[in-house]
Amino acid sequence: MLDEPGSEVRTGMTPAERIPPLVDARGAEGARRHRRLTEHSKRSLLMHEREVKFLSERIEQLEREKAAVEAFAAVAAHELVEPLVMTEAYATMVSERLDAEEHADSRRDLGALSRGAARMRLLVETLLHDACSSGRELHREPVDLNRVVDECLALLSPDVSARGLRVDVEPLPTVDGEEALLSGLFSNLLVNALKYSPRNATAIGVRALREPGVWRFEIESEGPTIPSEDRERIFEPFSRGTGERRARGAGLGLATCRRIVERHGGEIDVRPANGSGNVFQFTLPAC
């Protein structure tokens, strides 16, 4: 009988003793593999601990930066709002002192100045409120949107009348939301509708439609239809319309509207109106 090279066979060995020591070899290989896996696990665990520490430190840094930005925004907003309030108040005071007949043009100009300052103040306050509340849950409460829209239209009434426009507001529901943000939402959309309504426009429409689980709100205005390629872009920060819809401004109004709607769990977009014009529509969860 020929023995395999390297094997030790002695005369008189039993068949069991003739089996090569495979078990021992496999055991040694398994031990080496186990050591390699253990070393790899230790290295992976060490890397994981380092990543966790880095992320924790980064989160703390971002929280500090966020707090600093909010503090700066509060101070900046106060510094912006204060002169706007003074401008609004003094313009109103001077207008009331002027004779209505003798200084009709001056009173009209002062009224426009006062309303412009009031709208700017509302925009600044809305931006500040949205920025400072972005990291927390909304302060939800029942909000009567009929009252919210009435207050917005009271501020815009002189401009609406001067344009000879009619604002048709259908009955609106009460929703759960943060009133200050929802007021800013409707104010921005109504100002936008007024801004882009042509001189021959007759009306702006505001309505609410009940759909499964949500209310869909629509603000319809006349004017140049927004091109399809711009209907998404106009909701981006610092983006403005093109062509006939290009106007002066920072391009923050519609971007702010999107943030407010999305924070309330809804969606916003724009579609062409029947004939001409646009319909800005957004959803809010139903109570």
3-state secondary structure 203-270: EEEEEEEEECCEEEEEEEECCCCCCHHHCCHHHCCCCCCCHHHCCCCCCCHHHHHHHHHHHCCCCEEE
Q: Token pair for residue 158? A: 């002189």
E strands, 117-202, are 141-144, 166-169, 174-177
pLDDT of residue 4: 47
d(CA 149, CA 147): 6
43 pLDDT above the threshold of 70? yes
Residue range 187-208: average pLDDT? Answer: 92
Give buried/exposed letters for 143-160 (b at 16+ CB in 10 A, else e).
bebeebbeebbeebeebb
Q: In 10 A of CB 61, how many CB atoms?
A: 10
212 pLDDT above the threshold of 90? yes
Which residue, among 196, 178, 206, has the nearest Cα to 266 in the 3D structure?
A: 178
Residue count (the chain): 287
Q: Token pair for residue 169? A: 């507001």
27 pLDDT above the threshold of 70? no
Per residue in 229-262, pLDDT (tens digit) is 999 999 987 776 665 555 555 567 898 899 999 9
pLDDT of residue 138: 82
Per residue in 96-127, pLDDT (tens digit) is 888 877 888 888 888 878 877 877 777 777 76
Residue range 168-180: average pLDDT? Answer: 95
- pTM of the full predicted structure? 0.64
6 pLDDT above the threshold of 50? no
pLDDT of residue 2: 45
Question: What Cα–Cα distance (Å) separates residue 113 from each residue in 87, 93, 190, 194?
Answer: 8, 12, 19, 17
